Amino acid sequence: MAVDMKGKDLISIHDLSREEVDQILDTTHILKMKQKLGEIYHPLKGKTMGMIFQKSSTRTRVSFEVGMWQLGGYALFLSANDLQLNRGETIADTARNLSRYLDGIMIRTFSHQDVVDLAEYSSVPVINGLTDLLHPCQVLSDLFSIREKKQNLEGLKLAYIGDGNNMAHSLMFGGAKTGMHVVICSPSGFEPDPEVTRLSRLDASKTGATITIQDDPVEAVKTADVIYTDVWTSMGQEEEYEKRLQSFKRYQVNNTLLENATEDVLVMHCLPAHRGEEITNEVIDGPRSIVFDQAENRLHVQKAIMALVM
């Protein structure tokens, strides 16, 4: 391996070097080929990973649990009700205890600071399975999916249409690290976090990428190689649902919008999709969509991450 990542936390793509991102993507390719060929590969035999879920999930739980099993290890599901966190035990004490039992921890939660604190006090690698700020495992899977289809990442243009949320933030970091131009197209008041924008532009200055924030979806998708969208109302924002429907109605990814893009544009969505809101059935099920390819690649990328850090 070109880069030794053993023991490293994966909290944000911003924390990774370009070489480490490439290492994850290259390892993913190898592990995906092994799995497709039916080859047994157990680098994590005898190891155990704890999976803390304070936010529910379909893809994150199944892909991590199956991936750990395919690597020869054991994944232990820990819901919020299974831990003492809800009864006042600190993140620091939870980290210290779990580190005595486990070889790695994956956490999917609301507060990003919880992941930062968990990693600070844990003596085993911590993987960010999602926070309200970032979703690095999803975006590393997206980068791999784009590279599979387009053969490279550098110089491509990705247009993200929708809320400036955790997906937008991690796509900005992912594009910046790999030399991909990222346009975040959000309505006024829903732009990405300014500090994430600043840091991603700092990363982009080293790779030749550009990070652009704008509000015109038609302009955003012109010359785009990839169009990406996500739900308008994320978990925990349900009380804003009606307001967001009105704010985002111009931002639906539909056939009319795709008429402004190139013929070979890829359409992506991290799922779950609210069909008929941010994306139409015709687009998500259409020939340009690679939505379910990227969902599958969560398994392969997370296997690579676990194999590299554990």
pLDDT higher than 90, residue 85: no
Are 167 and 277 in the same domain?
A: yes
**Catalytic (active site) residue 274:** no
**Catalytic (active site) residue 230:** yes
**Catalytic (active site) residue 138:** yes
Name the least confident of 69-78, 179-188, 230-239.
230-239
Instruction: Report how far residue 114's alpha carbon sits from residue 90's, in angstroms, rounded to the nearest whole number.
Output: 10
Q: What is the pLDDT of residue 274?
A: 95
Are 107 and 141 in the same domain?
A: no
Report if residue 8 sits inside a domain.
no
Are 148 and 275 in the same domain?
A: yes
**Catalytic (active site) residue 294:** no
Tokens of 246: 């009105």
pTM: predicted TM-score of the whole model, two decimal places: 0.96
List pLDDT tens digits, range 156-179: 999 999 999 999 999 999 999 999
Report if residue 225 sits inside a domain.
yes
pLDDT higher than 80, residue 237: no
Structural domain containing residue 107: 13-134+297-309
Are 234 and 276 in the same domain?
A: yes
Report if residue 302 sits inside a domain.
yes
Q: How confident is the model at residue 145 (pLDDT cuts 50, 70, 90)?
A: very high
Spell out a b/e string for 221-256, using b for 16 or more CB atoms within 10 Å of the CB, else e: beebbbbbbbbbbbeeeeeeeeebeebbeebbbeee
pLDDT higher than 60, residue 266: yes
Percent of the chain exceeding pLDDT 90 equals: 90
Report if residue 3 sits inside a domain.
no
Are 154 and 175 in the same domain?
A: yes
Q: How confident is the model at residue 84 (pLDDT cuts 50, 70, 90)?
A: confident
Instruction: Calculate mean pLDDT across residues 114-133.
Output: 97
Are 60 and 198 in the same domain?
A: no
Report if residue 156 sits inside a domain.
yes
Are 233 and 115 in the same domain?
A: no
Q: How confident is the model at residue 86 (pLDDT cuts 50, 70, 90)?
A: low
Are 88 and 150 in the same domain?
A: no
Choosing from 14, 59, 61, 108, the catalytic residue is 108
Report if residue 207 sits inside a domain.
yes
Choosing from 54, 270, 288, 300, the catalytic residue is 270
- Residues 6 or more apart whose CB falls under 8 angstroms from that of 164 comprise 184, 186, 190, 191, 192, 193, 213
Report if residue 2 sits inside a domain.
no
**Catalytic (active site) residue 203:** no
Look at the chain and report how many structural domains it folds into.
2
Choosing from 14, 59, 61, 135, the catalytic residue is 135
**Edge-first strand listing for the sheet containing 266-269:** 211-214, 181-185, 157-161, 226-229, 266-269
Q: What is the pLDDT of residue 155?
A: 98
Choosing from 225, 298, 300, 302, the catalytic residue is 298
pLDDT higher than 90, residue 219: yes
Report if residue 5 sits inside a domain.
no
**Catalytic (active site) residue 270:** yes
User: From the CB of residue 303, how many other CB atoms can be counted at a distance below 10 Å?
Assistant: 27
Are 180 and 71 in the same domain?
A: no
Are 216 and 236 in the same domain?
A: yes
List pLDDT tens digits, range 1-48: 578 999 999 999 999 999 999 999 999 999 999 999 999 999 999 999
Choosing from 230, 244, 252, 294, the catalytic residue is 230
Are 83 and 169 in the same domain?
A: no
Q: What is the pLDDT of residue 1?
A: 57
Choosing from 54, 70, 138, 294, the catalytic residue is 138
> The domain that contains 53 carries what CATH number?
3.40.50.1370
Q: How confident is the model at residue 105 (pLDDT cuts 50, 70, 90)?
A: very high
Are 95 and 189 in the same domain?
A: no
